[in-house]
Structure 1
Amino acid sequence: MKAVLHALHTHAQRQGDAPALISPAHTLSYAELAERVDALANWLSQQGWSGPLAWLADNDIDWVVLDLALAQAGIAGLPLPPFFSEAQRQHVLADSGARWLISPDPRGQALPSTQLTALPLPHTGTAAPLPSGTCKLTYTSGTTGAPKGVCLSAAQLDATVAALDAAIGPLAVSRHLCVMPLAVLLENLAGVYLPLLRGVPVELMPLASLGMAQFPPDVPRFIGTLAASAADSLILLPSTLQWLVAATAAGQLRKSWRFLAVGGGKSAQATLLQAQALGLPVFEGYGLSEAASVVALNRVGAQRIGSVGKPLAHVQVSIAADGEVLVGGNTMLGYLGQDSASAQIATGDLGQLDADGFLTILGRKKNTIVTGMGRNVSPEWLEAEFCALPGIRQAFVYGDEQHGLHGLFFSSEALAANALLAAHNDQLPGYARLSGWQLLEQPLSVAAGEITANGRLCRETILSNHRLIGLGENT
Structure 2
Amino acid sequence: MRAVETVLRRHAEDGDRPLVEVTAEDGTAVVHSYREITRAARALGDRLDPGPRHRVGILCGDTAEAVVAELALLALRVTGCPVPPGASARTAAALLADVSAVLADARGLALLAAWADRDVLPEGCPVVPVDLAALTDAAPGAYRVPDDDRDWICKILPASAGSAGRVGIRAHAVGAHLDALRAELPAGAFARCAVTVPLGALAHQVAATPMALADGGCLLLPPRGIPATALPEWTATVRPTALAVTPPAATALIGAARTARREGRAVPAALFGTPGVPLLWCGTEVPHPLLRECEGLGLPVYAGYGLAGNTGAVSWNTPAARRSGTVGRPLSHVRAEIGPDGELLVSGDGLAVSLGSDGPSDGWLHTGVRAAIDADGFVHLVRPNPARRTGEPLTPEIGRLLYSLVRSLRADCVVAFDGTADGSLDQLAAGARANGAGHVVGHVPDAHRAADTRARLTAAGLAPWAEVRHAGLHDLGRAPAPVDLALLDCRPDLTLPALTALEGRMRPGTIVLALGSAPTGPYLDRVRDGADYLSMPLPVAAGVEVSIRLTPGPRPPPRSPSGPRTGHAHSTAQRRVNP
Q: TM-score range by the shorter chain?
A: 0.5 to 0.7
Please list every run of 5 or more consecutive structure 1 residues that lacks an aligned counterpart in the other structure: 117-131, 212-218, 373-378, 384-403, 427-431, 435-454, 460-475
Query: What residue number does 2:172 align with?
Result: 155
Counterpart pick for 1:196 among 213, 218, 238 = 213
| Partner Cα distance (2:541, 2:486) in 1 | 27
- Structure 2 residue 240 is the aligned partner of structure 1 residue 240: no
Query: What residue number does 2:287 align with?
Result: 267
1:332 is displaced (CA, Å) by 3.7
SS in 2 for 1:188: helix
Query: What residue number does 2:369 align with?
Result: 349
1:111 is displaced (CA, Å) by 5.2
Contact 1:236 1:263 survives alignment (8 Å): yes
Q: How does 1:22-421 map to 2 (within 5 A)?
A: 22-24=21-23, 26-44=30-48, 48=51, 50-93=53-96, 96-103=97-104, 104=106, 105=109, 108-110=127-129, 133-141=152-160, 146-170=163-187, 172=189, 174-205=191-222, 207-208=224-225, 210-211=226-227, 219-251=228-260, 254-255=271-272, 256=274, 257-268=277-288, 270-338=289-357, 341-342=360-361, 343-363=363-383, 421=492
1:74 is displaced (CA, Å) by 1.1
Paired letter, 1:194: M
Contact 1:59 1:206 survives alignment (8 Å): no
| Partner Cα distance (1:241, 1:64) in 2 | 26
Query: What residue number does 2:5 align with?
Result: 5
Contact 1:260 1:282 survives alignment (8 Å): yes
| Partner Cα distance (1:425, 1:345) in 2 | 44
| Partner Cα distance (1:89, 1:152) in 2 | 18
| Partner Cα distance (2:491, 2:229) in 1 | 23
More displaced, 152-161 or 329-338?
A: 329-338
1:234 is displaced (CA, Å) by 0.9
SS in 2 for 1:101: strand
> Aligned in 2, Cα 1:71/1:419: closer, same or farther, shift over 3 Å?
same
TM-score by length of 2: 0.56
| Partner Cα distance (2:185, 2:196) in 1 | 20
SS in 2 for 1:152: strand
Deviations 1:351-381 (A, max 9, x none): 1111111111123xxx678999xxxxxx9xx
Deviations 1:387-428 (A, max 9, x none): xxxxxxxxxxxxxxxxx9999799x997695689436899xx
Contact 2:61 2:200 survives alignment (8 Å): no
1:317 is displaced (CA, Å) by 1.0
SS in 1 for 2:10: helix
More displaced, 154-163 or 332-341?
A: 332-341
Query: What residue number does 1:447 align with?
Result: none
Paired letter, 1:359: V
| Partner Cα distance (2:44, 2:159) in 1 | 28
| Partner Cα distance (2:206, 2:517) in 1 | 39
> Aligned in 2, Cα 1:433/1:87: closer, same or farther, shift over 3 Å?
closer
Contact 2:69 2:130 survives alignment (8 Å): no
Contact 1:405 1:433 survives alignment (8 Å): no
| Partner Cα distance (2:176, 2:299) in 1 | 28
What's the C-alpha RMSD, in Å, of the aligned pairs? 4.0
Query: What residue number does 2:18 align with?
Result: 19
Contact 1:18 1:30 survives alignment (8 Å): yes
Paired letter, 1:354: D
| Partner Cα distance (1:192, 1:77) in 2 | 15
Question: Which of the two has higher C-alpha Rg?
Answer: 2
What number of residue pairs does the alignment pair up? 374
| Partner Cα distance (2:190, 2:55) in 1 | 34
Contact 1:62 1:114 survives alignment (8 Å): no
TM-score by length of 1: 0.67
> Aligned in 2, Cα 1:206/1:371: closer, same or farther, shift over 3 Å?
closer
Contact 1:319 1:325 survives alignment (8 Å): yes
| Partner Cα distance (1:65, 1:267) in 2 | 34
Query: What residue number does 1:429 align with?
Result: none
1:341 is displaced (CA, Å) by 4.3
Paired letter, 1:356: D
Paired letter, 1:52: R
Contact 1:262 1:283 survives alignment (8 Å): yes
| Partner Cα distance (1:206, 1:67) in 2 | 21
1:9 is displaced (CA, Å) by 1.9
Please list every run of 5 or more consecutive structure 2 residues that lacks an aligned counterpart in the other structure: 24-28, 114-126, 136-150, 262-269, 390-394, 399-419, 429-482, 498-515, 519-537, 543-579
Contact 1:177 1:231 survives alignment (8 Å): yes
Deviations 1:22-76 (A, max 9, x none): 11363122233333333433443x6646432112111111101111211221111
SS in 2 for 1:357: coil
> Aligned in 2, Cα 1:114/1:339: closer, same or farther, shift over 3 Å?
farther
1:266 is displaced (CA, Å) by 4.8
> Aligned in 2, Cα 1:9/1:205: closer, same or farther, shift over 3 Å?
farther
| Partner Cα distance (1:2, 1:36) in 2 | 22
| Aligned-residue identity in percent | 26
Query: What residue number does 2:264 align with?
Result: none
1:231 is displaced (CA, Å) by 2.0
| Partner Cα distance (1:197, 1:329) in 2 | 22
| Partner Cα distance (2:424, 2:212) in 1 | 40
Deviations 1:88-139 (A, max 9, x none): 223333xx322322213399545585668xxxxxxxxxxxxxxx93210111
| Partner Cα distance (2:221, 2:182) in 1 | 21
> Aligned in 2, Cα 1:53/1:47: closer, same or farther, shift over 3 Å?
closer
More displaced, 75-84 or 234-243?
A: 234-243
> Aligned in 2, Cα 1:323/1:266: closer, same or farther, shift over 3 Å?
farther
| Partner Cα distance (1:341, 1:38) in 2 | 38
1:199 is displaced (CA, Å) by 1.7
